[in-house]
A = this chain, B = another copy of it.
């Protein structure tokens, strides 16, 4: 396909590279920042533009990978070309596009991307949705050219996935940060925790989290939990997090 990428952030960068690697032609890369547009465009052998007036209509697909708030103004501009337009957002409905064009869909990669980190796109779950069955089928076919994990997901389900991703990614990363800070206070290197963090994530690749839960809370080991809370007495914020998550784990155990 001939694909135009709107955006130059983490998601735009990884999507553009994946499409290019799969043999698609990237026509243009648009970013409000010409420097960023040029960097990505050079990488995927496309033209860089920083103004939507410069759009080349000779494309099959517009992929909008920008901040949620910026999606609607952009699709309003692109609708006149009457080409297929998708966004790559977990939190935005398909309807947000359909206000402006029926030639619309969603192409949401459920992964955390960093520009500086290579990753195997072939395993990234792609959540697709089309305004009609023909569009869904087109997006399905496109998705399988870049990943083996393709899911048809409606806007309601995608909202849930986006929320669940916060619990599965953003919050764990913050807890890693807390752990690292606790160690740093005692001059201990974060390297000591890295194998534990990786093993914890690897365990749930094969098991359900409830089946591999460990630690004082799941044993209802009140003595250890009291000792941990005492160690956190200088830090009421961390005490509150410790209590709330431990209570949740204790309830989880009783439930199962």
Tell me the A residues contacting B by CB distance below 8 Å. Answer: 68-69, 91, 110-112, 114, 117, 119, 123-125, 127, 149, 151, 153, 156-157, 159-180, 182-183, 185-186, 188, 190-206, 208-210, 212-218, 221, 223-224, 227-228, 231-232, 237, 240-242, 244-245, 247-249, 251-252
28 A-B pairs within 8 Å (CB atoms) are namely: A110-B193, A110-B196, A111-B199, A117-B203, A149-B191, A159-B227, A160-B185, A160-B231, A164-B179, A164-B193, A167-B176, A167-B179, A168-B175, A168-B196, A168-B197, A169-B199, A170-B249, A171-B175, A171-B215, A171-B245, A173-B204, A174-B245, A174-B248, A175-B245, A177-B213, A194-B205, A198-B201, A237-B247
A224 CB contact (under 8 Å) in B91, B125, B177, B223: B91
Q: Lowest 8 A-B CB distances belong to which pairs? A: A170-B215, A201-B201, A172-B172, A177-B209, A168-B179, A176-B209, A164-B179, A167-B179
Q: How far is the CB of A205 from chain B (nearest CB, A)?
A: 5
